[in-house]
Structure 1
Amino acid sequence: MGEFPTVTDVARVAGVSRQTVSNVMNTPGIVKADTRARVEAAISALGYRPHASARRLRTRRSSTIGIRLDPMIDGISGSVLDRFLHALTEQADARGLRVLLFTATSPEDEISQFRRLNDGADVDGFVLTSTTADDPRTEWLLEQGIAFVTFGRPWRSDDFTAPRHPWVDVDGYSGLHAATRAQQDAGATRIAYIGWPSPSGTGDDRRRGWHDAMLERGDVSAEDLARLEVVTADGVDQGAAAMQQLARTAGGIDAVLCASD
């Protein structure tokens, strides 16, 4: 026996053919239970691990997920994407998958990368980040029938209840609704909100959470609620200016919630 056990070694110890060992690893349902148990025991005893490259050649699958490496982003957004990428890699590894990183300068350039990696059979599918309404990347992948999932929602109203593709995202509405409710439960009634200009998929979603929670509690009138809201571009300086505006025009304020991290 060599330094690393082979399929032949497993077959000899289990008293079966090499094909039976292959069947146990790839299509176990067709193997009798007692035979499968003997093969699995031999695999465990020998510490056998299938050769990943050979399996990829045999199944014509790369066991690889492609994801664009975004330019360096500072602050909370960068931290979230960094943690997401780490978790994705960790979970992929636990399932015997690899993650391939690539860069792109635009959505169109990213589509070119999709085409190159798919044509070369380098990946089985993609994970997309920073989705937008009518995203050309998702449209292209759907047309080509290439597997993918997005970290970010499709942003079309029909996609929320009947998505054309799988997606995961932070629930901004529930987050701001819960944050507003927590301040109300702590005794705050005049809760202001600093948000982004509309249309903004993420911003509009978060604003609705605050707005609905305020209307449900009914502590302020609709007219007064409008004075408790300021819209501004994202940025620390812009946020500070918005807070100064609220101080001048909103009257008394018990708490402030913000769309931006």
Structure 2
Amino acid sequence: MPRSSNASSSKSGSVTLAMVAVRAGVSPQTVSNAINSPGMLRPETLARVRRVVDEMGYRPSRAAQALRTRSSKLIGYGIQSAPLSSPVLDWFLHALSHSAEVAGYRILLFTSALGDTPLKSYEELLGRHDVDGIVLSGTERGDLRQKWLTQKGVPFVAFGRLWSGRQIGDWVDVDGASGTEAAVDHLVSQGHTKIGFLGWERGTSGAGDDRAAGWARAMRRHGLTVRGARGQSDNGIDPARIAVRPLLEGGATAIIAASDMLALGCYQALRERGAVPGRDVAVVGFDNAAGTDLLSPPLTSIAQPLDIVGAQCIRMLLARIAAPELPPQRLLLAPSLVVRDSSSRTAQFSPS
């Protein structure tokens, strides 16, 4: 009678592996072997343990199985709680998820806090879930996550370089400077000599400064001036519309924007002046976001190889998980210039 009462209470409560071991008269390791490596036990021991498991309604937790295999098959990825979604990071997440699934893993999404406590969300994730590793994105100057994860012994890979100080850990990034250099070369081949650059404020974005550096390097290589040809804007179409005006008033016949969103602001500014993008002033964006080919005119843009970035991030992370002592891996991928009507017309005149 006491036996059935005990079994009933165990089913209604939280049954642990240790409770099963006591009931079956074996060690907790034997119970674990019965569940995970049954071939290690004698048939009579295995039968007894399994009978008790069934009687008590015990179900091994995912965390308990992870302790045995040292693998949860989960990879953490933090998405920023920002009001504006980034098309680039959305597509990167799609590519990352696909590559993880092919490798037998799942992406565990969590909200990555902004502001003064960027590590709090990562600490909470590691406290609540067993993840095999972390993928970072949105790297920036003074980023604390790489050093913190290294100190914690958590495998990670970053989409993006550290833009200041010593490089830490594995990363995959896109060479934005080579992309804007290619854009300048293309515009020069179309006859443009006054090529402006519209980016974000200096020092606020490592990627943005990298893209500006490529533009400046190519301009000097072609013997063209950069003085007064760089504009700064907040992220958004309307700020870009205002920020590009001085470049147009200064005689720019072509504008390279640090993002497709900034390029859309250039489109609006040109139309306000009675000018036509592509016909009167060439415009080049960055990211080749969905829908850029449907604009009027279709936007020339620099495309990031995000499918490759996602696949390489998973490859590097799994290599780091398997062999933590490996030297750091860093991969810089070249983007490609997708030429469309916004920059394909040969320059023959000054802007309106």
Change (3 A) 1:175 1:153: same
Residue 12 of structure 1 is matched in structure 2 by none
Q: Is the contact made by 1:62 and 1:121 (CA closer than 8 Å) also made in structure 2? A: no
Is structure 2 residue 129 aligned with structure 1 residue 130?
Answer: no
Deviation at 1:134, TM superposition (A): 2.0
Q: Is the contact made by 1:152 and 1:169 (CA closer than 8 Å) also made in structure 2? A: yes
SS in 1 for 2:119: helix
Residue 256 of structure 1 is matched in structure 2 by 255
Change (3 A) 1:173 1:133: same
Q: 1:166 aligns with which of 142, 145, 170?
A: 170
| Letter in structure 2 aligned against 1:231 | Q
Change (3 A) 1:193 1:120: closer
Percent identical among aligned pairs is 39
Is structure 2 residue 65 aligned with structure 1 residue 65?
Answer: no
Residue 248 of structure 2 is matched in structure 1 by 247
| Structure-1-length-normalised TM-score | 0.68
Question: CA separation in 2, counterparts of 1:112 and 1:243?
Answer: 38
Q: Is the contact made by 1:72 and 1:78 (CA closer than 8 Å) also made in structure 2? A: no
Structure 2 residue runs without a partner (length 5+): 1-38, 41-61, 261-352
| Letter in structure 2 aligned against 1:197 | E
Query: Which one is further off, 98-107 or 53-62?
Result: 53-62
Q: Is the contact made by 1:108 and 1:137 (CA closer than 8 Å) also made in structure 2? A: no
Residue 95 of structure 2 is matched in structure 1 by 87
CA deviations 1:229-248 (Å, max 9, x no partner) are: 22233332222222321232
Question: CA separation in 2, counterparts of 1:156 and 1:106?
Answer: 19
Query: Which one is further off, 164-173 or 83-92?
Result: 164-173
Query: Which one is further off, 109-118 or 225-234?
Result: 109-118
Residue 205 of structure 1 is matched in structure 2 by 210
Greater RCO, CA 8 A, separation 6+? 2
| Letter in structure 2 aligned against 1:228 | A
SS in 2 for 1:128: strand
Query: Which one is further off, 198-207 or 177-186?
Result: 198-207
Deviation at 1:173, TM superposition (A): 0.5
Deviation at 1:73, TM superposition (A): 5.2
- Pairing of 1:133-148 with structure 2 (within 5 A): 133-148=141-156
CA deviations 1:135-181 (Å, max 9, x no partner) are: 1222211111211111221112542xxxx211122221111111111
Change (3 A) 1:128 1:184: same
| Structure with greater helix percent | 1
Question: CA separation in 2, counterparts of 1:232 and 1:107?
Answer: 21
Change (3 A) 1:147 1:258: same
Question: CA separation in 2, counterparts of 1:72 and 1:133?
Answer: 18
Q: Is the contact made by 1:107 and 1:137 (CA closer than 8 Å) also made in structure 2? A: no
CA deviations 1:82-114 (Å, max 9, x no partner) are: 111111111111011111111243366553343
Is structure 2 residue 237 aligned with structure 1 residue 236?
Answer: yes
Is structure 2 residue 200 aligned with structure 1 residue 196?
Answer: yes
SS in 2 for 1:169: strand
SS in 2 for 1:199: coil
Is structure 2 residue 190 aligned with structure 1 residue 186?
Answer: yes
Question: CA separation in 2, counterparts of 1:109 and 1:241?
Answer: 33
Question: CA separation in 1, counterparts of 2:157 and 2:194?
Answer: 40
Q: Is the contact made by 2:132 and 2:155 (CA closer than 8 Å) also made in structure 1? A: yes
Change (3 A) 1:107 1:95: farther
RMSD value over aligned CA atoms?
2.6
Change (3 A) 1:115 1:233: closer
Change (3 A) 1:108 1:144: farther
Structure number, greater radius of gyration:
2
Deviation at 1:56, TM superposition (A): 4.1
| Letter in structure 1 aligned against 2:213 | R
| Letter in structure 2 aligned against 1:206 | R
| Letter in structure 2 aligned against 1:184 | V
Q: Is the contact made by 2:113 and 2:121 (CA closer than 8 Å) also made in structure 1? A: no
| Structure-2-length-normalised TM-score | 0.51
Structure 1 residue runs without a partner (length 5+): 1-17, 20-52
Question: CA separation in 1, counterparts of 2:150 and 2:125?
Answer: 16
SS in 1 for 2:177: helix
Q: Is the contact made by 2:139 and 2:160 (CA closer than 8 Å) also made in structure 1? A: yes
Q: Is the contact made by 1:69 and 1:102 (CA closer than 8 Å) also made in structure 2? A: yes
